[in-house]
């Protein structure tokens, strides 16, 4: 990481203006990530943080020197990250370093830590809720070695949910069972305190836990206490392990995530997003019901990666008829975990995270430590059956598959309806891979308070809620990294997704600049903040896309009863809005006409009329004409 930061600093030394500012921000972010890396000394971490602060100060100086008249949709990245730290009344600062062990000790008053955050509960949860209890109140007297009782995963990890509507979260926790410990040991990097010698979480004497979760543009610090919602009935209000109901860390990790998402009255998500936040593994969503879905190509991509523990697989259903649900035993709009893959038969061991009613594991299940042994709610399905009966497959990929990563943080004021059919108000970036090859581009929309309120006031299905929040997409153009005006002719056109993340995978040519455009449809809020992450196995230049032409002007106009003259065949044609265009020399020109009225057919005519108003259009006077909605003409 330090080497990458120094490489960016070398580019900073030879740059000026906006490019220098961009490089300063990028280098500061790399040093911030280097300071948080596992295995470095305290002295190195302190040195990285000092360099990060120096670069931030330098970036602020560059920003102050920049012309005030240079508009840009890309705001200061570090300032934006700080602004995105506050969510649902809580503050989640960017992660800087692992907390010391002393932070989890009891204070002088010997009172356990209390997180003052209010965790809202749904009506069903309230009806079963008893109180917020600490582990000794929940599970009764424990063994002398409480770490073994509460934190050791000695049996099969068989996690289930009950009343809490977080199937995507429990499916995520279950599907990631192989990477929490073992060779990837993801849990050791995100949960504190942690016993690194034993490879398991450590019980906090004060009841305080700190998690390193990935959301709103970076890894962030999430602090909770160990109080969990106790039930006054036989229903469970938090995730439990069927084979060891006292296993505490999954419930604490669930609580930390639900704190970020607003509470236990969870309005729903998808497991791709959940795993991105929990693990930082790159989310990809495959739409199984689309004609473009290729079963064989998908199988070839995931089988080896799964065996190498480099991908986590979860599944999501859409609307399911009662007949299909009875035959297949599936639940509509529900997420499932994939717990194993059989390469010889192309089958997946699929787990339903819902807890069977009045369920208690048998003694044989309690004794089983084989993760491939199907337990309640698990079943084998072929990839063909999955493609037929599920709507989505979520793949979360190990970011260590890539040697290079860049993050661009930006804000976007959603354009008015006048520009809804064009891209002139959309964030656009130029991406160039020096060596070429595979480049993954991940767009992540930051969580916002207002979106949670929309989801809580939902009516109907989860799909209906998602449509209320809107959709987003990624478009890639072969335009030498210059800005584009319309969405026609992309080399890659991603699906419009209701998820906060969407991924574009492109095969780039060495040295070729591509234009990446962020698109949307019916996003509910007036403004958002985003992060664009670029993953590659070689250096990639990421800059804000620039206009191909140096000069730009914009005119506002309107048709009304007085000046709506109709087409060129009408005698009132001369009443239409007309503009005089003068150029001092031959030059390419691009003109865009955009309107919010989708029912009106509009176009632009460029006519030789010596700058005077045209009463009609004669073929010999017509230089060029465009058609379509919206309209554009380009002259050379």
- Assign 3-state DSSP to the chain and report helix, strand, coil percentages, each to 5: 30, 25, 45
Q: Which of 52, 128, 167, 409 is catalytic?
A: 167
Compute the chain's Rg from CA coordinates: 28
Tokens representing 25 are: 């921000």
Measured distance CA(3)–CA(72) in Å, rounded: 30
439 backbone dihedrals φ, ψ, rounded to 5°: -130, 130
Beta-bridge partner residues of 405: 535
Cα 80 to Cα 22, 53, 395, 635: the distances in Å are 14, 16, 28, 39
In the chain, what is the greatest distance between 2 CA atoms, to the nearest angstrom? 96
Q: Is 477 buried (19+), middle (13-18) or exposed (0-12) by CB count in 10 A? A: buried
Q: How far apart are the C-alpha atoms of 614 and 565, rounded to whole Å?
A: 12
Cis peptide leading into residue 282 (ω within 30°): no
Token pair for residue 264? 């236990």
How many whole angstroms separate alpha carbon 481 and alpha carbon 500?
25
Say if residues 99 and 210 touch (Cβ distance below 8 Å).
Answer: yes
CA 610 and chain centroid, separation: 53
The rounded distance, in Å, linking the Cα atoms of 29 and 5 is: 8
Q: What span, in angstroms and rounded, lies between the C-alpha atoms of 613 and 617? A: 11
- Is 167 catalytic? The answer is yes
**What tokens appear for 405 in the block?**
């990563």
| CA-wise closest residue to 413 among 21, 69, 75 | 75
Residue 385 CB burial class (10 angstroms; 0-12, 13-18, ≥19): middle
The helix (H) or strand (E) run that includes residue 52 is helix 42-65
Whether 334 sits among the annotated catalytic residues: the reply is: yes
Q: Exactly one of 184, 192, 243, 334 is catalytic; which is it? A: 334
Distance CA 370, CA 393 (A): 25
Catalytic residue from among 216, 270, 352, 398? 352
How far CA 570 is from CA of 573, 615, 616, 628, in Å, comes to 5, 10, 8, 20
Q: Which residues are catalytic?
A: 167, 334, 352
């Amino acid at each position: 990481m330090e080497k990458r930061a120094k490489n960016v600093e070398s580019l900073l030394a030879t740059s000026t203006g906006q490019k220098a500012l961009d490089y300063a921000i990028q280098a500061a972010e790399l040093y911030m990530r280097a300071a948080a890396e596992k295995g470095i000394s305290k002295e190195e971490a302190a040195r990285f943080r000092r360099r990060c602060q120096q670069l931030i100060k330098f970036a602020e100086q560059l920003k102050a020197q920049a012309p005030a008249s240079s508009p840009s949709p890309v705001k200061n990245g570090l300032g934006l990250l700080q602004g995105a730290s506050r969510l649902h009344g809580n503050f989640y600062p960017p992660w800087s370093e692992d907390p010391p062990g002393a932070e989890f000790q009891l204070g002088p008053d010997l009172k356990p830590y209390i997180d003052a955050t209010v965790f809202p509960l749904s009506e069903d949860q309230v009806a079963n809720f008893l109180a917020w209890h600490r582990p000794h109140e929940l599970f009764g007297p424990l063994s002398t070695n409480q770490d073994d009782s509460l934190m050791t995963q000695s049996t099969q990890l068989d996690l289930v949910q009950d009343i809490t509507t977080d199937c995507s979260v429990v499916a995520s926790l279950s599907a990631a069972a192989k990477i929490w410990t073992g060779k990837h040991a993801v849990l050791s990097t995100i949960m504190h305190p942690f016993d690194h010698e034993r490879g398991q979480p450590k019980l906090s004497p004060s009841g305080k836990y700190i998690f390193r979760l990935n959301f709103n543009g970076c890894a962030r610090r999430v602090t909770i206490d160990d109080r969990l919602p106790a039930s006054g009935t036989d229903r469970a209000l938090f995730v439990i392990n069927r084979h060891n109901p006292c296993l505490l860390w999954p419930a604490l990790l669930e609580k930390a995530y639900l704190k970020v998402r607003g509470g236990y009255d969870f309005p729903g998500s998808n497991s791709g997003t959940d795993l991105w936040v929990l693990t930082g593994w790159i989310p990809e969503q495959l739409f199984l019901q689309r004609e473009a879905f290729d079963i064989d190509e998908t199988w070839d991509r995931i089988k080896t990666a799964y065996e190498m523990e480099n991908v986590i697989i979860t599944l999501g259903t859409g609307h399911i008829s009662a007949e299909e649900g009875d035959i297949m035993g599936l639940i509509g709009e529900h997420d499932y975990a994939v717990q194993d893959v059989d390469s010889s038969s192309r089958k997946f061991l699929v787990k339903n995270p819902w807890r069977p009613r009045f369920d208690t594991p048998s003694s044989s299940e309690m004794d089983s430590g084989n993760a491939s042994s199907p337990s309640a709610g698990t079943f084998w399905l072929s990839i063909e059956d999955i493609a037929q009966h599920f709507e989505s497959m979520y793949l979360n990929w190990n970011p260590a598959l890539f040697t290079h990563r860049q993050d661009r943080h930006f804000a976007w004021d959603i354009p008015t309806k006048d520009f809804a059919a064009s891209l002139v108000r959309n964030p656009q970036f130029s991406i160039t891979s020096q060596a070429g090859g595979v480049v993954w581009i991940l767009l992540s929309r930051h969580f916002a308070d207002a979106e949670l309120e929309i989801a809580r006031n939902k009516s109907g299905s989860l799909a209906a809620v998602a449509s209320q929040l809107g959709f987003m997409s990624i478009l890639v153009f072969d335009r030498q990294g210059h800005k584009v005006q319309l969405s026609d002719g992309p080399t890659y056109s991603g699906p419009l997704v209701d998820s906060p993340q969407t991924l574009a995978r492109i095969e780039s040519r060495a040295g070729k600049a591509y234009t990446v455009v962020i698109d949307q449809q019916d996003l509910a809020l007036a403004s958002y903040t985003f992060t664009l992450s670029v993953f590659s196995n070689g250096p990639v230049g990421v800059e804000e896309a620039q206009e191909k032409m140096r000069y730009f002007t914009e005119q506002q106009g309107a048709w009304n009863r007085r000046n709506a003259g109709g087409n060129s065949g009408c005698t009132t044609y001369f009443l239409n809005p007309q503009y005089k265009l003068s150029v001092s020399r031959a030059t390419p020109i691009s003109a865009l006409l955009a309107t919010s009225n989708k029912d009106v057919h509009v176009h632009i005519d460029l006519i030789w009329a010596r700058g005077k108003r045209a009463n009609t259009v004669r073929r010999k006077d017509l230089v060029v004409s465009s058609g379509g909605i919206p309209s554009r003409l380009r002259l050379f």
